[in-house]
Structure 1
């Protein structure tokens, strides 16, 4: 039987609001072991903000001796200005092969997991890799 998304997804999801500033995003990414934030408005998923999106937006001079006011102003941008819109999502009952195919087809690193229009989890490429490697290491019962 195929492994379902719900079996390997993370249910600890961190969300931010559309108008949250990148200073908040920086604090989260600096202190947390994950690389994707779900952006919501009125409890509805609007986008995904990856650490890569965030870093691409920042000036490379932030935190250096050459930092200028213009550089630090990049941290005042809002989440909705940086996030990826119209995120590809997946249902918790979908199999992980489908999740992997979606991530590859859309060149994305995570899928918000949705049930009845509510966020119930998130699955990343690392979750998939861990599951596929675990399946290879543990002999299947027949």
Structure 2
């Protein structure tokens, strides 16, 4: 079995200059945990819901909100994303994907073509859903 056999083929990505409120909205609307970040059609980073939790102030919309809290929303994707994310090709064997998940603390891998365009995403959930015991 290969990456192309289990990857999610419908991928929503964001531009490198997209602002955090829109990124947060996309993640919440689609119940995603990761978004590929694209520049000129190529994968340049990835943003997770955990990145947003780490960056966006928890005081927004609270009585104690300060101007600096709202400033956390003005950041662009390139200021928050993980750069040079680990990615795989469609032909990558599942065994290699499993090895990446075990070796590195990640829960998702973008699948790219030879031009570094995102053609799919694989999460640990995809692996579990397609596991044969």
TM range (shorter): over 0.9
Is the partner of 2:28 in helix, strand or coil? helix
**1:23, distance to aligned residue in structure 2 (A):** 1.1
Q: Whole-Å Cα distance in 1 between the matches of residues 105 and 4 of structure 2?
A: 22
Aligned residues: CA RMSD = 1.2
The normalised TM-score by structure 1 is 0.87
Q: Counterpart in 1 of 2:87? A: 89
- 1:23 aligned to 21, 24, 29, which one? 21
Q: Whole-Å Cα distance in 2 between the matches of residues 127 and 56 of structure 1?
A: 25
Runs (5+) with no aligned partner, structure 2: none
**1:39, distance to aligned residue in structure 2 (A):** 0.4
1:78 aligns with 2:76: yes
How many residue pairs get aligned? The number is: 132
The 5 A counterparts of 1:43-82 are 43-82=41-80
Q: Deviations over 1:42-69 (max 9, x none)?
A: 1011001111111110111123232222
Q: Counterpart in 2 of 1:127? A: 126
Is the partner of 2:109 in helix, strand or coil? strand
Runs (5+) with no aligned partner, structure 1: 137-142
Radius of gyration: which is bigger? 1
Q: Counterpart in 2 of 1:140? A: none
Q: Whole-Å Cα distance in 2 between the matches of residues 5 and 64 of structure 1?
A: 44
Q: Whole-Å Cα distance in 1 between the matches of residues 51 and 122 of structure 2?
A: 18
Q: Whole-Å Cα distance in 1 between the matches of residues 85 and 41 of structure 2?
A: 15
